[in-house]
Structure 1
Amino acid sequence: MHRRRRRTALLLSAAIVAAPLLTACGSDARPGAAAVVGGQRITVAQLESRVKEVRDAQRAAVPDDAQYAQAIAQTGTLARDTLHGMVLDRVLHRAAQDAGVTVSRKEVQQVRAGLEQQAGGAKGLEMAYLQQYGIPPERLDDNLRLQAEADKLAGKLGTTTNDPAFWSALSTASKELDVDLNPRYGTWDAQKVSRVDAKTPWVREITAPSTQQTT
């Protein structure tokens, strides 16, 4: 089970790590959308609702104001990371569909039961996923379905979620879905299956001290 849990961490975070920045030269996402995936919008309102779920769960778990403020500070990129997860979920699901992979509710519950045993119960598991991955309790089963789908897809491909073959399948699905992010959230690199912050050279230009034109 430790190996499976490590794979989940990889799936959730591997594409969030720092990557070479790309120039945002694609078309803007449709108005009111945080992203468009396969012609289907993820609206800004849907994204904000997901972020609120996490913040509400953090507030409930950490009633102390100082600790809550610290939790907020540690998850300052929550909106962008949440959108990344929402897009990645759809990309993975497409890759699984392409490979003929399905996951039943029973399989999700089996994964959950094993992880709860490791975490010392349901509450322990919910707290661990909230703290480590920003997954609120009401989204935990969805996330575990994602994990099971990833494991089964890797198995179908004869590989693991660590290997290039797995990410190549996700890259293919990402290209098929033609992911388009609202520029405020960066761009989507289909090859790396990752959200990438857009370059903003104008920030440096504005904030750099003026050392010329003094005459």
Structure 2
Amino acid sequence: MHRRRRTALVLTAAIAAAAPVLTACGSDAHPGAAAVVGGQRITVAQLQTRVNEVRAAQRAAVKDDAQYKQAVSQTASLTRDTLHGMVIDQVLHRAAQDAGVSVTPREVQQMRTGLEQQVGGSKALQAAWLQQYGVAPQRLDENLRLQLEAQKLAQALGADTSKPAFWNALSKASKELHVDLNPRYGTWDVQKSSRVDAKTPWVREVTATGTQQTA
């Protein structure tokens, strides 16, 4: 696999796993919020819009209902994973700012062009990111910016995205932003670096199709 594409895939996986560095207060002080980051709410409505974008893209990418149901079943935790991504985006951006790191639109376009050349075009890249990472086509550039920020932050720290220095920077940023996660989307076990789902079996997440599923 080409080094540039391999790096992109590794960074995407790393950011997807980044959520455990966040802390969750489980506060009910922000009604209607899926999370609060830096005093700014990520509303449940905003979260659901992102989820609906992915579901719509999945629906458009398959030929029949059986294939769509399979795609949905393979991304059963989509709502929570999407929220994690929305929070991590802000945390990583704060960490990058703290380190004096920035990403330009031109750098994002260069990365996208390189990846498209590797996988066989824009549509193929969109399909790959949708299938592997649950990223809707209209959010692809945002995801690539996220990856570039992660890569440049690691470089600025003299490390890579697997090293403690990188994760410590994200942890510091999350504390600065006072991340508060709505408990319906789970809590974080920082020591184990894994997500602990809230024990609320009566909570159901509704997809754009009206199908109910447990996240």
TM-score (normalised: structure 1): 0.84
The residue that corresponds to 1:213 in the other structure is: none
1:110 corresponds to 2:113: no
CA distance in 2, matches of 1:172, 1:43: 24
Check the 8 A contact 1:174/1:193 in 2, yes or no.
Answer: no
CA distance in 2, matches of 1:172, 1:156: 16
- 2:16 is matched with which residue: 8, 13, 16? 13
After superposition, give the CA deviation of every residue in 1:144-169 in whole Å (9 maximum; x if it has no partner): 00011111101100100111110110
CA distance in 2, matches of 1:164, 1:111: 26
CA distance in 2, matches of 1:101, 1:29: 33
The residue that corresponds to 1:69 in the other structure is: 69
Shift of 1:114: 1.0
Distance 1:111 1:25, change over 3 A: closer
CA distance in 2, matches of 1:182, 1:65: 32
Shift of 1:45: 0.2
CA-based RMSD of the aligned residues comes to 2.2
Shift of 1:5: 1.8
1:4 corresponds to 2:7: yes
CA distance in 2, matches of 1:6, 1:165: 20
> 1:13 is matched by which residue type in structure 2?
A
Distance 1:83 1:184, change over 3 A: same
CA distance in 2, matches of 1:6, 1:162: 13
> 1:144 is matched by which residue type in structure 2?
L
Q: Which runs of structure 1 show a deviation greater than 4 angstroms over 4 or more consecutive aligned residues?
A: 188-195
> 2:10 is matched by which residue type in structure 1?
R
SS in 2 for 1:124: helix
Bigger CA radius of gyration = 1
CA distance in 2, matches of 1:194, 1:37: 20
The residue that corresponds to 2:149 in the other structure is: 149
TM-score (normalised: structure 2): 0.84
After superposition, give the CA deviation of every residue in 1:182-204 in whole Å (9 maximum; x if it has no partner): 11101245778875423x3x87x
The residue that corresponds to 1:186 in the other structure is: 186
Check the 8 A contact 1:171/1:193 in 2, yes or no.
Answer: no
The residue that corresponds to 2:160 in the other structure is: 160
Check the 8 A contact 1:33/1:42 in 2, yes or no.
Answer: yes
The residue that corresponds to 2:208 in the other structure is: none
SS in 2 for 1:36: strand
CA distance in 2, matches of 1:161, 1:5: 11
SS in 1 for 2:103: coil
CA distance in 1, matches of 2:157, 2:192: 18
Q: Percent identity?
A: 69
What is the aligned residue count? 196
SS in 2 for 1:100: coil
CA distance in 1, matches of 2:192, 2:105: 30
Distance 1:71 1:105, change over 3 A: same
**Gaps in structure 2 of 5+ consecutive residues:** 202-215
The residue that corresponds to 1:39 in the other structure is: 39
